[in-house]
Amino acid sequence: MSARNILLLSSSRLHGYGYLEHARAQLEDLFKSKNVKTVLFVPYAGRNHDKYTETVRSALQPWGYAVEGLHNKVDKAQALRDAQAIFVGGGNTFVLLRTLYELNLVEPIRELVLERGLPYVGSSAGTNVATRSIHTTNDMPVAYPPSFEALALVPFNINPHYLETDANTNHKGETRDERIEEFVAYHKRPVLGLRESNFLRIQGDRATLLGTRAAKLFKADGAAEEYAPQADLSFLLQQ
Amino acid sequence: MSARNILLLSSSRLHGYGYLEHARAQLEDLFKSKNVKTVLFVPYAGRNHDKYTETVRSALQPWGYAVEGLHNKVDKAQALRDAQAIFVGGGNTFVLLRTLYELNLVEPIRELVLERGLPYVGSSAGTNVATRSIHTTNDMPVAYPPSFEALALVPFNINPHYLETDANTNHKGETRDERIEEFVAYHKRPVLGLRESNFLRIQGDRATLLGTRAAKLFKADGAAEEYAPQADLSFLLQQ
Ligand SMILES: [Ca+2]
Ligand SMILES: [Ca+2]
């Protein structure tokens, strides 16, 4: 059994809430279960690492958690080994993954999370890189990473910020569903469309959908199915 | 002076028109100027190459142009050298560019268009690969190409299917403008946002905006400017 202790957010922001505020209960559940006092933040999906770390600190500090930035650590592998929990923030998925490869952090993070149970929280791009590949990011490919293969903390793909595109538009660019179906057609692999109000909680070999709305699973065979909050999605881990 | 003779479409479909119908005048202008009777179609952005070629044939044949598919040619480099004009269709930009690299067609196409004046028509993904890189595609990265560097028939980037995202949405994913601005912030290079009704015509060192709406230029310094139809955009070629 895997030591996984993971919380994947679709988005760090939800309409009507402050930064991370909609995720507070889920974050605190995870942090308290492991007696986490300090969170190591991974800011590489963003442009200004100091400012981004400050944003996260402003959200978590009032709840009682200290926040440090991985970019400020000289020995990053050691900092990860010492960490009580890591939070990988959103921004640009391509920039994030390229930086993780450049800093040789892909394997260390993967090992710490899968084998030593390091608590991992990801949001948006931080959720994309937690999956098997970044093939299903919504981001513009502004940077070229050495691979689209990612941390593979889970063996399927997620599309964060998932939403159905307005079918009444006159616009001819692909809808979100068409984009995801294009991935499924090429790869024959499932994609979980995670709406902005939703989370995926993974504990060992158990995966549970959390949040207030349904999630849409695009299945490997081309069909799709909606799952309600609290649904057991553990079958997605068995691949 | 470059031998370029290029027509770049934002989209092969425009609301209210049949496939390629909105572009008929521009296509015929280009084809007639070179006495083109047969168009060599490059279907690699699509999934079913035969069916896709048939779609293009159904559109161009009634106007008097024969259509052949590059995928049916055994010696593709020779077919390109023999071609009167090529049309690179839309679909998935990552799949298209990866296939062009796999088939070793990037350099041959580039040389034929820039030095021998082979007429090039691109739409959507076919427009993305005509530019210096595919960093500004809207497509989902379903395939991993060996590089994001593209044909570089023009030295700037284009965002096809450009549109302003509804500012009143509650959705927190990036807007199109934010995505393009993210590219500009990292690369300090201009991006032409080409709305679906628009075309860019390039003859030698002259570039002209065609179509019925304005195009939005995201400049290297972070500013943006709208250009009306018929605007001379030749300055974008001087980089
Ligand atoms: Ca993003
Ligand atoms: Ca496309």
Among the listed residues B22, B49, B135, B161, the single catalytic one is B161
* pLDDT score, position A185: 96
- Which residues, 6+ apart, have CB-to-CB distance to A72 below 8 Å? A53
Q: Identify the segments of chain A with pLDDT beneath 50.
A: none
* pLDDT score, position B167: 66
How far is residue A169's CA from residue A188's CA, in Å, rounded to a whole number? 29
* pLDDT score, position A174: 86
How far is residue B86's CA from residue B109's CA, in Å, rounded to a whole number? 9
In eight-state DSSP terms, residue B184 is H
Amino acid at B57: R
- Which residues, 6+ apart, have CB-to-CB distance to B66 below 8 Å? B37, B38, B39, B57, B60
Rg of chain A taking only CA atoms, in angstroms:
17
In eight-state DSSP terms, residue A166 is P
The per-residue pLDDT for range B22-79, each reduced to its tens digit, is: 999 999 999 999 999 999 999 999 999 999 999 999 999 999 999 999 999 999 999 9
How far is residue A130's CA from residue A122's CA, in Å, rounded to a whole number? 7
Give catalytic residues of A, as residue numbers.
124, 139, 161
* pLDDT score, position A215: 97
How far is residue B69's CA from residue B53's CA, in Å, rounded to a whole number? 6
The per-residue pLDDT for range A73-127, each reduced to its tens digit, is: 999 999 999 999 999 999 999 999 999 999 999 999 999 999 999 999 999 999 9
Of all residues in chain A, the one with the smallest CA distance to B159 is: A140
Q: How confident is the model at residue B174 (pLDDT cuts 50, 70, 90)?
A: confident
Ligand nearest to the CA of A138: 1
* pLDDT score, position A197: 94
Q: A200 CA distance to ligand 2 centroid (A)?
A: 29
Among the listed residues B124, B133, B177, B197, the single catalytic one is B124
How far is residue B71's CA from residue B81's CA, in Å, rounded to a whole number? 15
Residues on chain A touching B15 (C-beta within 8 angstroms) = 170-172
Averaged confidence pLDDT in chain B: 96
Is residue B148 less than 8 Å (CB to CB) from chain A? Answer: yes
| Bridge partner list, A192 | A158, A217
The per-residue pLDDT for range B213-223, each reduced to its tens digit, is: 999 999 999 99
pLDDT surpasses 90 at B166 = no
The verdict on whether B139 is a catalytic residue reads: yes
* pLDDT score, position B171: 81
Look up residue B99 and give its two tokens.
Answer: 């296939």
* pLDDT score, position B135: 98
Of all residues in chain A, the one with the smallest CA distance to B182 is: A142
Rounded-to-5 percentages of helix, strand, coil across chain B: 35, 20, 45
Q: Map out the domains of chain B with their CATH numbers.
A: 5-237 (3.40.50.880)
The per-residue pLDDT for range B107-134, each reduced to its tens digit, is: 999 999 999 999 999 999 999 999 999 9
pLDDT surpasses 80 at B168 = no
Tell me what ipTM this predicted complex has: 0.94
Is residue B92 less than 8 Å (CB to CB) from chain A? Answer: yes
* pLDDT score, position B14: 92
Burial of A226 (0-12, 13-18, 19+ CB in 10 A): exposed
Contacts 24+ apart (CB under 8 A), A57-60: A58/A19, A59/A18, A59/A19, A59/A20, A59/A21, A60/A20, A60/A27
Whether the CB-CB separation of A134 and A78 falls below 8 Å is answered with no
